[in-house]
Structure 1
Amino acid sequence: KDISASVPAPGGKGKRVLFSAFSTRILKGERIGILGPNGAGKTTLIRMLTKDLPVDSGNVRIAKTLNAAYFDQKRAGLDPDESLWRTMCPGGGDQVMVLDTPRHVVGYLKDFNFDVDQVRGPVSTLSGGERNRLLLAKLLARPSDLLVLDEPTNDLDMDTLDLLEDALGEFKGTLIVVSHDRDFLERMVASIIALEGDGQAREFVGGYKDYVRQRGDKLGLTKSKPAKSAPTASPPRPRSERVGLTFNEQHALDELPKTIAKLEQDVGRIEKALAEPDAYSRDPDRYHKLTAFLKKTEAELEESEERWLALAEKAEALDSPV
């Protein structure tokens, strides 16, 4: 509540305020994105929220039983001399617990594109991208109520990014993500804390697109996934020749199930938060915001389902014999 942070100003004269008198309440199961330009105080904020860094003023209270797992930009936490197996099972054995399910360490690491020889080899033989995959595997196998991810998409290849998104989609705890990646934020979070470099931290209900609608695209965020190249132009087809779905239609048909699943999860989380006995009395403003967000999310879900159904029917009709 009312937390503030500042850093020395350029030239050593005075201080530059990162944010002041910021208050928030983070509930179990919430998925929060933190965004802003470099130097705005994003990492400082999450370190203060997890009490890894003292606040300049104000106070932070966290649950006594909270078990947090942290993934930072420095990718620290790997012993280059240890094997991947021992890294995952430091106490010995061959099992890891992933989302309350026991997994054999070899099978689990195969999900992160490691082969058997690599699992038994030392961390020092891994490339930078492979080390990122191992860190994510280690993080996601750690029992936790809170995942704090600081720029998790940096230096990730497409396969690893997909693995991360799938794993986070199944995570039932609280998620706090710092990222410059607008696509990742849009898919992963249901509210935004924005640090816009003006000494204030502001909260917005919804994902990245909702934030942009309310504030405008001021931050110059980047997309981590490279844009797919446009299909090469082909000669005009005879009018009688049947054509398949367009590139954009096929892409939408492939991606909409993921969007629908994400929206269904969002609806479930919001409904659960609204169903808590003291949800309204504890924070009426937040209750009204969540109610409005639920209505919007349900509308997006219905629209996505109708869009997918229309494309699926079109694809089926095009594939059927004349």
Structure 2
Amino acid sequence: LIKDFSYSFSPEDRVGFIGPNGVGKSTLLDLLNGKQEPDGGLVQRGETVVIGCFDQHSEELSNNLKVIEVIKEVAERIDLGQGEFLSASQLLERFLFPPAQQYSPVSKLSGGEKRRLHLCRLLMAAPNVLLLDEPTNDLDIHTLGVLEDYIEDFRGCVIIVSHDRYFLDRTIDRLFCFQANGILERFEGNYSEWLEHQQQQTQDQQKQPAKTVTANKSQTTVKPPKTKSRKRSFKEQRELDQLDKNLPMLELEKMSLEAKLINANYEEIENITTKLASLCSQITKGEERWLEISALEEN
């Protein structure tokens, strides 16, 4: 899944990993977290590293406990550094649990609220390395906004696996993209900048004439080695062109809906959130398909 990858994560790194489903993104997080050991090579963790991992498999929360008790089981407060502290109640309030709800039993929470509480419990352990595996699949739009702000102020390393372009654009400044044969391509920038870079490369390759070399007074055309599995069909090229047009329009529609949330009432919020969930699903599937087709060799 992963070949010849070497990287040293530093404090306050903001790193994203992208690629089609099944290429090894979650496996890489498991290697960093110590849930799996590598078949070869070495994963070294600093002595002071405290890893917090938010993934698809959260632990069961006791329904008998109150919301605030779940958090206080971990700690009473977080040391933010420079003399700043955040109490368990303040953290819960920051993540949209009002004081009245903090003393309700966990059994009264919805599935989404339990995932949000699990995130708060994770952060209360004061990790200095935060691993987020597809967080936009589990958290509502309001919680994601709070999480984005939290990451901006977080004094630690953040490593994110996600297909969500908007979330990655807001949270990371370095990207690794899984390529064929387990190769990870490094890019300095966010997801949108990487997509623009890929499109520019494709355009440059289309314009570039075949290179020639002279050997023994004869002309030999040197073709680049074929690294793609197969050529892109005409139908797939048309689909790729259509995705290039549609994805930016879907992103604009998403931004418009998110702007409407600011002044929406409860009924409007429910309606807009439903539309956003559907739109985010379309964008995710579209970007996955874009990655799949763009990896094929052009005709």
Q: Tell me, what secondary structure is at the counterpart of 2:3? A: strand
Could you list the runs of 5+ residues in structure 1 that have no partner in the other structure? 1-17, 232-322
Higher relative contact order (CA 8 A, sep 6+): 2
Q: Which residue of 2 aligns with 1:96?
A: 77
**Does 2:222 correspond to 1:194?**
no
**Does 2:31 correspond to 1:48?**
yes
- Deviation, 1:118, is 2.2
**Does 2:127 correspond to 1:144?**
yes
| Contact 2:33-2:53 at 8 Å conserved across structures | no
Q: Structure 1: how far apart are the matches of 2:116 and 2:139? A: 8
TM-score by length of 1: 0.59
| Contact 2:174-2:189 at 8 Å conserved across structures | yes
CA deviations on 1:174-194 (whole Å, 9 max, x unpaired) are 110111111111111111111
Q: Structure 1: how far apart are the matches of 2:56 and 2:74? A: 26
Q: Structure 2: how far apart are the matches of 1:91 and 1:184? A: 28
| Contact 1:148-1:177 at 8 Å conserved across structures | yes
Q: 2:195 aligns with which of 192, 209, 212?
A: 212
**Does 2:50 correspond to 1:22?**
no
Deviates more, 1:79-88 or 1:27-36: 79-88
Q: Tell me, what secondary structure is at the counterpart of 1:99? A: strand
Amino acid at match of 1:165: E
Q: Structure 2: how far apart are the matches of 1:173 and 1:196? A: 28
Q: Which residue of 2 aligns with 1:39?
A: 22
| Contact 2:74-2:124 at 8 Å conserved across structures | no
- Deviation, 1:80, is 2.8
CA deviations on 1:61-111 (whole Å, 9 max, x unpaired) are 12122111111122335333322111110168xx32152433343343222
- Deviation, 1:229, is 5.5
Q: 1:228 aligns with which of 256, 265, 273?
A: 256
Aligned CA distance change for structure 1 residues 47 and 91 (closer, same or farther; 3 Å): closer
Q: Which residue of 1 aligns with 2:161?
A: 178
Amino acid at match of 1:54: E
- Deviation, 1:37, is 1.2
| Contact 1:98-1:142 at 8 Å conserved across structures | no
| Contact 2:30-2:36 at 8 Å conserved across structures | yes
- Deviation, 1:47, is 1.3
Aligned residues: 212
Amino acid at match of 1:116: P
**Does 2:68 correspond to 1:82?**
no
Q: Which residue of 2 aligns with 1:58?
A: 41
Q: Which residue of 2 aligns with 1:153?
A: 136
Q: What's the % identity of the aligned pairs?
A: 34
Could you list the runs of 5+ residues in structure 2 that have no partner in the other structure? 203-239, 260-299
Aligned CA distance change for structure 1 residues 152 and 30 (closer, same or farther; 3 Å): same
Amino acid at match of 2:41: G
**Does 2:53 correspond to 1:70?**
yes
Q: 1:113 aligns with which of 92, 96, 100?
A: 96
CA deviations on 1:16-53 (whole Å, 9 max, x unpaired) are xx221222222222110011111111000111123321
**Does 2:116 correspond to 1:133?**
yes
Aligned CA distance change for structure 1 residues 214 and 137 (closer, same or farther; 3 Å): same
The structure whose residues are more often helix, as a share, is 2
CA deviations on 1:110-153 (whole Å, 9 max, x unpaired) are 22222333211221211122112212222222212211111112
Q: Which residue of 2 aligns with 1:166?
A: 149
Q: Structure 1: how far apart are the matches of 2:258 and 2:72? A: 45
Aligned CA distance change for structure 1 residues 102 and 172 (closer, same or farther; 3 Å): closer
Aligned CA distance change for structure 1 residues 77 and 88 (closer, same or farther; 3 Å): same
Q: Which residue of 2 aligns with 1:296?
A: none
Q: Structure 1: how far apart are the matches of 2:257 and 2:108? A: 34
